[in-house]
Chain A
Amino acid sequence: MMRALAFALRTLGREWRSGELGVLLLALTVAVAALTGVGFLVGRVATAVDLQAAEVLAADLRLGSPEPIDTKYEEEAARRDIRTARSTALLSVVFNGEQSQLTNLRAVGPGYPLRGKVLIADEPFAQGTPATGIPGTGEVWPDSRLLAALDARIGSQLTIGAATLRVSRVLISRPDQGGTFSELAPSLLMNIADIPATQLVQPGSRVSYRVLFAGDRGAIDLFKNWLLANKKRSERLLDITQESPQIKNAVERAGRFLSLASLVSVLLCAIAVAMSARRYVQRHLDSVALLKTLGATRGFTLSVSILQLMMVAVVATIAGSLLGFVAQEWLARTIRGLLNSNLPPADFKPLLIGFITAVAVLAGFALPPLLQLARVPAIRVLRRDIGPPPAFVLLAFGPAVLAVCFLIYWVVRDTWLFAWFTIGLVGFLALLSLAGAVLVALAGRLRGSVGVAWRYGVANLSRRRAESLIQIVAFGTGIMVLLLLGLVRNDLARDWRISLPEDLPNYFFINIPADQRDAFIKDIEQRGATPTRVLPMIRGRMTAINGRPIEDLRFNRQEGEDNATREQNLSWAAELGPDNRIVEGKWWGPEDYGKPLVSLATEFQESLHVKLGDTLTFDIAGETFTVTIASFRKVKWDSFQPNFFMVFAPGILERVTGTYLTSVHFDGSQARTLASLARKYPSVSIFDIEDLLERVRSVFDKAVLAVQSVFFFTLFAGLTVMMAAVQASRDERRYESAMLRTLGASRATVLQGVLAEFTTLGLLSGLLAALGASIGGYFVATRVLEMSYGFDERVWLTGTLGGALLVAFSGWLATRSVINHPPVTTLRAG
């Protein structure tokens, strides 16, 4: 082994000096650079999006409990360098003289909020500015609705329990005010140190204690596991995925896109390695045969090849990682201005990922040809037509398939997604091979009708049938994944843009009494705004599932228990909203109206463990309703339209007295008049989601920008990888070009021939790639990213023209040196 190592090192150095290793090293380096560059950027962008999303929770993690929370969690957090803050929430009536209002009190401690900002102002419904701390002791920050309801202003003294506290600012928004309508009462922010003076916390009072945590992503992930293992059963752990379904959706989709981008770079990496390894093996057939003639054993030649390739992998990984890091750092700096903030620093996981991927891809794609190489018989030195014996199909393709499957799973980490990708990829490869074979055969027939240069080029295509097929598959796959990424990126950005138009309702009005409904709508319209649809809303409790009382049921997840026991907002509808998709069962038609049917959001399906046909029993205003589950809906929460987890068929709930809900878009000046509206309809709850919308817009903007920049980065990396792959095929053309020139062909004719061959290759690959991308785009858009798919016919033009140009240009780059050299040099080198 030592002898093989020494020999491998010596010959590797020599091959490097002779320029022989350049192509393989270049392809691998670029591939690793693409992979790690995209990896670095994806990591940083994902962290940025997470941080932005975490603002909705005012923290990365929140531990809640109805009882005071032990300080041991904060002590553990401090040990792990995680910041903490406390907050206590309770409902109480707040007085301003004779006026009173049930209020959601938020008492917060120093450090709050850990993520995001509290916005305050000097008058109600005004533009807020970020607060620098929390209310001082003896001070409170009531929100605009509370001030309006209490007829109070800055300087007013409010009575809360046994304490009297002074209004020092108006609370415009706090990061954790929530996007759901669970907090119907107006809110007030106060200092946690004032809680004892209010004497509101008594045995039996409904108080919610919270501890907030924020820190590095890795530390938080570990701490979350620790918390889950150590917290009491009654303590509830919340992270962003549970708090805001809208942002969760957006973050998930951005994450999936970024995974897709990583996957694309992995596949490009695989293509580059496969092509270069093929070239490496082709070029070493003679050398290995010679080594064997000179007395090298099979084990020795195999060890030498493997050692050399491993050394190449190490060098390429180091060089590629450095290149990838520099490239993404440059990109991050370029987009810093657009992002309005710095991206968080890169962590170094992508380096390891880059190395593991390089090794996996090399092992999968390069090992089988290397094993073949070691089987080259020595007699090849006498008869060049004798190559290595054909490999077992399983051995030739097995490792590559395994490597790709491993990498796909590793990147997507989702069995369902993995299965789709693998099936899609296999189908596409089969299609490429089949269509490639047909097209190559057709090209063979076509050659009679074109000029000499084209005839030479196109003839090459059908003569080198196997080579051409491999190239069509490689280029086709490369172009396809790039097109697919481009298509999906456009769809995603468009979907986000149209889901958050400027005039999206930013105020929700809930609890509109049925008898005040028309007057209320009129008042809104008088203020120059138009309400969106007005929906019924009825509150009720779920009492049984399939006849078994809720109290007797045990749920695997805390979420199930929460969803089963909470007060439910119920509605009924005849039409399915455009942001809802039936995934199981069917939506009702007019013939079903009046039947006891309900449609559930998939979130409830999962947490309650229910299936179609199960019955749910509700207590609605003292009356019992038992309904059968008729369908499950996937709700796109980031549409920001009013949506309900449970929707009944029309004709059941109409007779129950409920309230109505509507949403309205108000611009800044109109919003100031809301104070009078709040006074006129004291029972109506007003929800200002402008701040939440802003936050979600900001998440979306960042995600769109991230998606765009990652796309362009991947595109650039992909083009470079493909160019490197074309380099791998230049040897085959080298000798023939020299021969043709010797026979009297001009350089222009030879060049035209090469261009003809590559252009045809590019056209064929591009055409097939466009087909693959169109079909793949549809699946990725509708199944993975859950959005509508806009068929884009430009993909055909981009695919075929772009493919032809790209491959022809790369081909020209690869062969121009051959054409510009005197033919004798090439012929002599043999």
Chain B
Amino acid sequence: MNHAQMQSAQALAHLETVLKAENLTKQVNSPEGLLTIVRDVSFEIAAGEPVAIVGASGAGKSTLLALLAGLDTPTSGKVWLAGTDLTALDEDGRARLRAQRVGFVFQSFHLVPALTALENVMLPLELAARPDARRAAREALERVGLRDRTSHYPRQLSGGEQQRVALARAFVTQPAVLFADEPTGNLDTVTGTRIGELLFELNSTSRTTLVLVTHDSTLAAKCARILRMEAGALRE
């Protein structure tokens, strides 16, 4: 392999690796002293690969997710998201990157109470100044089966319906990576299963890389790879 071929192979490798963590550590000050929540975590996730992060409560899953998505900054170590070094960006830079490449689904849905279902889905598109926001949002709501609920406010929707709106909002921008934090944690078993199925269905059709934090072993089992967190450290 000559030099040029090597370079192109490296570039391809970068493209294929959509998310990479390198020696990630997060420490915080607590009344008991310095607390290490995430300890020296390194891994890579390839484009399109659904990965589950599991572990007991307090193992550091959500903190890891926050670091990977650029919602928080590590004490040391680096994160590359879609080829960009997150740790080299400031808060606004990370926000811009999220706007272009990242989607989110949360345990507590996080819909804006003052906005209707449609308006909630339009929100990320409007932030990105997309001209066809309304049409795209309507289609996304149709995909999650909420065509008749577009003008409902979150308080008028059931938990399952709220999470569907959140899914529509997450996928509507066709993100490179979708971070899901306990997406079924607030739902009953039946609804949770349906939402889980919907999540994977949308993920496969939109070729998004799914990073899923969950307690739900059934849901985790649907992923190609499972990363297990224990006391802040990673065990694959």
- Taking Cβ atoms with an 8 Å cutoff, the residues of A that contact B are 3, 7, 10-11, 14-15, 18, 20, 286-287, 290-300, 377-379, 381-384, 825, 828-830
Since A18-B113, A18-B153 are in contact, a sample of 18 more A-B pairs with Cβ atoms closer than 8 Å, ordered by chain A residue number, is: A7-B126, A7-B127, A14-B116, A287-B114, A290-B110, A290-B112, A292-B95, A294-B99, A294-B127, A295-B99, A295-B124, A297-B91, A299-B92, A377-B72, A381-B71, A381-B110, A382-B181, A829-B154
- Pick the interface stretch among B38-46, B100-108, B201-209: B100-108
Q: CB-nearest residue of chain A relative to B169?
A: A294
Q: Within the assembled complex, what's the spacing in Å between the Cα atoms of A445 and B232?
A: 42
Q: Is the C-beta of B12 less than 8 angstroms from some C-beta in chain A?
A: no
Name the one of B92, B97, B115 contacting A18, with C-beta atoms under 8 angstroms. B115
**Is A14 in contact with B119, judged by CB distance below 8 angstroms?**
yes
* With A3-B129, A11-B115, A290-B112 as contacts: A295 and B96 at CB distance below 8 Å: yes
Chosen A-B contacts, 6 in total, with CB atoms closer than 8 Å, are: A11-B114, A287-B112, A293-B69, A295-B95, A295-B99, A378-B95
Q: Within the assembled complex, what's the spacing in Å between the Cα atoms of A383 and B63?
A: 9
Q: Within the assembled complex, what's the spacing in Å between the Cα atoms of A757 and B155?
A: 27
Min Cβ gap A297→B in Å is 4
Min Cβ gap A41→B in Å is 37
**Is B98 in contact with A14, judged by CB distance below 8 angstroms?**
no
Q: Could you say which residues of chain B place their CB within 8 Å of the CB of A300? A: 127
Name the one of A290, A296, A381, A382 contacting B99, with C-beta atoms under 8 angstroms. A296
Q: Could you say which residues of chain A place their CB within 8 Å of the CB of B129? A: 3
Instruction: Specify which of A10, A11, A20, A830 lies most central, judged by the most chain B CB atoms within 10 Å of its CB.
Output: A830
Q: Within the assembled complex, what's the spacing in Å between the Cα atoms of A381 and B70?
A: 12
Name the one of B100, B104, B153, B154 contacting A293, with C-beta atoms under 8 angstroms. B104
Min Cβ gap B163→A in Å is 13
Interface residues of B in 71-93 (CB under 8 A from A): 71-72, 91-92
**Is B66 in contact with A294, judged by CB distance below 8 angstroms?**
no
**Is A297 in contact with B96, judged by CB distance below 8 angstroms?**
yes
Q: Is the C-beta of B233 less than 8 angstroms from some C-beta in chain A?
A: no
Q: Is the C-beta of B15 less than 8 angstroms from some C-beta in chain A?
A: no
Q: Within the assembled complex, what's the spacing in Å between the Cα atoms of A14 and B126?
A: 14
Q: Could you say which residues of chain B place their CB within 8 Å of the CB of A291? A: 123, 127
Min Cβ gap A19→B in Å is 8
Q: Is the C-beta of B13 less than 8 angstroms from some C-beta in chain A?
A: no
Min Cβ gap A385→B in Å is 12
Q: How large is the interface on B (under 10, 10 to 19, 20 to 34, 35 or more residues)?
A: 35 or more
Q: Within the assembled complex, what's the spacing in Å between the Cα atoms of A792 and B119?
A: 58
Q: CB-nearest residue of chain A relative to B170?
A: A294
Q: Could you say which residues of chain A place their CB within 8 Å of the CB of B91? A: 297-298, 378
Q: Within the assembled complex, what's the spacing in Å between the Cα atoms of A434 and B214?
A: 48
- Taking Cβ atoms with an 8 Å cutoff, the residues of B that contact A are 62, 65-66, 69, 71-72, 91-92, 95-100, 102, 104, 106, 108, 110, 112-116, 119, 123-124, 126-129, 153-155, 158-159, 181
Q: Could you say which residues of chain A place their CB within 8 Å of the CB of B124? A: 294-295
Min Cβ gap A543→B in Å is 80
Name the one of A293, A298, A829 contacting B155, with C-beta atoms under 8 angstroms. A829
**Is B95 in contact with A829, judged by CB distance below 8 angstroms?**
no
Q: Could you say which residues of chain A place their CB within 8 Å of the CB of B69? A: 293
Min Cβ gap B18→A in Å is 17
**Is B66 in contact with A382, judged by CB distance below 8 angstroms?**
yes
Q: CB-nearest residue of chain B relative to A10?
A: B126
Name the one of B106, B114, B119, B127 contacting A20, with C-beta atoms under 8 angstroms. B114
Min Cβ gap A817→B in Å is 13
Instruction: Specify which of A294, A296, A384 lies most central, judged by the most chain B CB atoms within 10 Å of its CB.
Output: A294
Q: Within the assembled complex, what's the spacing in Å between the Cα atoms of A14 and B72?
A: 30
Q: Within the assembled complex, what's the spacing in Å between the Cα atoms of A251 and B153?
A: 58
Q: Within the assembled complex, what's the spacing in Å between the Cα atoms of A157 and B104?
A: 107
**Is B65 in contact with A296, judged by CB distance below 8 angstroms?**
no
Q: Within the assembled complex, what's the spacing in Å between the Cα atoms of A646 and B223?
A: 101
**Is B62 in contact with A382, judged by CB distance below 8 angstroms?**
yes
Q: Could you say which residues of chain B place their CB within 8 Å of the CB of A295? A: 95-100, 102, 124, 127-128
* With A290-B112, A295-B98 as contacts: A379 and B154 at CB distance below 8 Å: no
Q: CB-nearest residue of chain B relative to A3?
A: B129
Min Cβ gap B44→A in Å is 23
Min Cβ gap B147→A in Å is 20
**Is A297 in contact with B95, judged by CB distance below 8 angstroms?**
yes
Q: Could you say which residues of chain A place their CB within 8 Å of the CB of B114? A: 11, 14-15, 18, 20, 287
Q: Within the assembled complex, what's the spacing in Å between the Cα atoms of A689 and B116?
A: 75
Q: Within the assembled complex, what's the spacing in Å between the Cα atoms of A353 and B116?
A: 38
**Is A825 in contact with B155, judged by CB distance below 8 angstroms?**
yes
**Is B92 in contact with A297, judged by CB distance below 8 angstroms?**
yes
**Is B115 in contact with A293, judged by CB distance below 8 angstroms?**
no
Q: Could you say which residues of chain B place their CB within 8 Å of the CB of A830? A: 108, 113
Min Cβ gap A639→B in Å is 62
Q: Within the assembled complex, what's the spacing in Å between the Cα atoms of A10 and B133?
A: 13
**Is A293 in contact with B127, judged by CB distance below 8 angstroms?**
no
Instruction: Specify which of A3, A297, A298, A299 lies most central, judged by the most chain B CB atoms within 10 Å of its CB.
Output: A297
Q: CB-nearest residue of chain B relative to A297?
A: B92
Q: Within the assembled complex, what's the spacing in Å between the Cα atoms of A14 and B118?
A: 11
Instruction: Specify which of B72, B114, B115 lies most central, judged by the most chain A CB atoms within 10 Å of its CB.
Output: B114
Q: Within the assembled complex, what's the spacing in Å between the Cα atoms of A828 and B119?
A: 19
* With A296-B99, A830-B108 as contacts: A377 and B116 at CB distance below 8 Å: no
Min Cβ gap A58→B in Å is 63
Q: Within the assembled complex, what's the spacing in Å between the Cα atoms of A18 and B120?
A: 13
Name the one of A286, A298, A378 contacting B71, with C-beta atoms under 8 angstroms. A378
